[in-house]
Chain A
Amino acid sequence: MERDTLYQRQVIDRARTPAHAGSLDDATHVGEGTNPMCGDRVRVGLSMTGDRVTAIRHETRGCAICIASADMMAGLAGGRSALELDTLGRLFGEMLRTGEGAEQVGELEVFAPLHRHRSRIRCATLPWTALTEALVGAVDGTPDGSKDRRGVDASATRGDGRHG
């Protein structure tokens, strides 16, 4: 069977045993992303000190790509500022579209093969949509506009199809 580079052991293992799943009791910021095409949903809870994320958990109902992406995002978010996460999210979105720039996104590089599966890009960006919502207002000077500026959620794909 052709397994495809997208489904590396790292992705499957992370989806099966996520390290950052669950709810955060003392969350100061929460956000949610849903994909109406398939019913997948990611909820993110954050604790922040100043503009830095001090704790993050996610509750994800979705495919392996979505769960692994959410968990890796949560792993990378701790200790970073809202602005840094905004930048990382945009670089991630750019990599998913083009397949390039993998060296700039840390372990999220495992999702680079997604650029060949346009209909699945949304699965990887859904956690970032939730994070963006949680961070609205936390990015200096971009209270509500931050959502539109992010590359990751603006051009959600429509590949799942609604026919048939």
Chain B
Amino acid sequence: MTDSPSFAPGTFTPAPGRGKLGRMLLAQARTETVLTLRNGEQILLTLLIPVALLVAMSLMDVIPVPDPRVGSATARILALAVISSAFTGQAIALGFDRRYGVLKRLAATALPRWLLVTGRVVAALAVVAVQVVVIAVIALLLGWQPPSVTGLLWAVALIVLGTLTFGALGVLLGGALRAEIVLALANIVWFALLLIGGVALGVAALPAWLATVVDALPSAALALALHDAVVDGTAPDLGHVAVLVVWGVVAGALAVKTTKLS
């Protein structure tokens, strides 16, 4: 073998070492946030559909929504936004990220595993923050009366909890199955939760036997808890919070076992 003429000696002299944790976290979270916000299908799912439904539910009388109409619709649409990005969007992105080998790629760098997960969570929260701002602005334009500070703080806490719970469910789905199957299931579940999971249609509008089941779903729990915070400006019913926590913990525990890198 001969020395390469194209590379000055010493170009590749080893100087290994791990980057700063904060920089690694920021780089990963920023990359994943930008990728989500640049993806047309994700924008449709996470922003356009929720905004369109918010406008429709606020202005038209197609779906029964209690008064105050805009406030009730806003609470439900915030829940839908969280489900769209943290569950459906996350599951699909993870399914294809695995297909394209990015988890393995990143797991082979100095990035510790816990940071890899943290980076994804931060990116998911960043995307939800963008959604919440857009939805809140449009709700205000539609005439939403913001609740008390207590209600707003609860709303923020619930949105974070909802993101973690649905994120865990999204990872559970997207981390184990083939990308195409993830794509199909994540959209079907999204549609089912939207229609009969207590999101677009309130639990009260459902037949009694179905309402009992739906009450235990994280979608209904998030929508109802957000209604308490966003419309009534009060602390949410703790039962709803408990439903969210249980779903999140169980899904997270299972996902740790079933998620595959590729």
B is bound to A: no
List residues of B whose CB falls within 8 A of some A CB: none
Give residues in A with beta carbon < 8 Å to B.
Answer: none
